[in-house]
Amino acid sequence: MSDSDSQPLEDAIIGLFLAPEGSEEVEFTEPKQTVADAGATVDVLGSETGDAQTVNDDLEWSESYEVEKSFDEVSADDYDALIVPGGTVGADTLRTDEDGVELLRQHVEDGKPAGVICHGPWTLVEADVVDGKTLTSYHSLQTDIRNAGGEWVDEEVVTDDGLVTSRNPGDLEAFCETIVDEFASAQS
């Protein structure tokens, strides 16, 4: 394959968080497919291995997906980038998982990129990595982000020091395009 045919994330290993239940399906599947199409290897990470059930619009149960590795079996050193989807219940569950929060905290503190959408920034707040950063999220999280020292803005996608955030599923096209760009830039 020539350099012009190479995929921007062909050497990247990306960890994608998935709650035991309640992650927003499209915020899980679309970023996963996008980074895989860009050449990345994707590990689905969660509190424990096995099936995890997603939701549509927070209220309707949807498909189940396999969690391949648990947070306690991996480290920030294992991943070039992380992705945290939203879904109110899923994001609330993820922010209470000490191993998942620690993985995200260490990853961000190591200066590695992360893509976080919708209610996913709750996990960033819990990891104590938003102080001094500009983020967006689902609008109901703006007070949480501000209380944690971040600046909340109402924009489709925001990038600040490796963190890529978006508000909701309506922003997925911009979010997915931006995470590929940001993740690829971090590998250069």
CATH code 3.40.50.300 for 8-116+171-187: no
User: Mean per-residue pLDDT for 124-130?
Assistant: 98
Asked whether residue 3 carries a pLDDT value surpassing 50, the answer given is: no
Q: How far apart are the C-alpha atoms of 97 and 9, rounded to whole Å?
A: 28
Q: What percentage of residues in the chain have a pLDDT greater than 70? A: 97
Residue 107 bears catalytic tag? no
User: Mean per-residue pLDDT for 161-184?
Assistant: 97
Q: Provide the pLDDT confidence category of residue 5 given band limits of 50, 70 and 90.
A: low
Query: Which residue from 70, 8, 62, 69 is spatially nearest to 35, judged by alpha carbons?
Result: 8
Kindly report, residue by residue over 29-76, the tens digit of the pLDDT: 999 999 999 999 999 999 999 999 999 999 999 999 999 999 999 999
Phi, psi of 152 (to 5 degrees): -100, 135
Q: How far apart are the C-alpha atoms of 85 and 174, rounded to whole Å?
A: 14
Of 107, 119, 139, 176, the active-site residue reads: 119
Q: Supply the pLDDT for residue 38.
A: 97
* 145 DSSP assignment: H
Q: Calculate the alpha carbon distances from 179 to 31, 61, 114, 159, 174 in Å.
A: 8, 27, 8, 9, 9
User: Mean per-residue pLDDT for 175-186?
Assistant: 97
Q: How far apart are the C-alpha atoms of 55 and 51, rounded to whole Å?
A: 13
Residue 119 bears catalytic tag? yes
Q: Supply the pLDDT for residue 27.
A: 98
User: Mean per-residue pLDDT for 125-132?
Assistant: 98
What sign for the dihedral angle of Cα 24, 25, 29, 32? positive
Q: Supply the pLDDT for residue 47.
A: 96
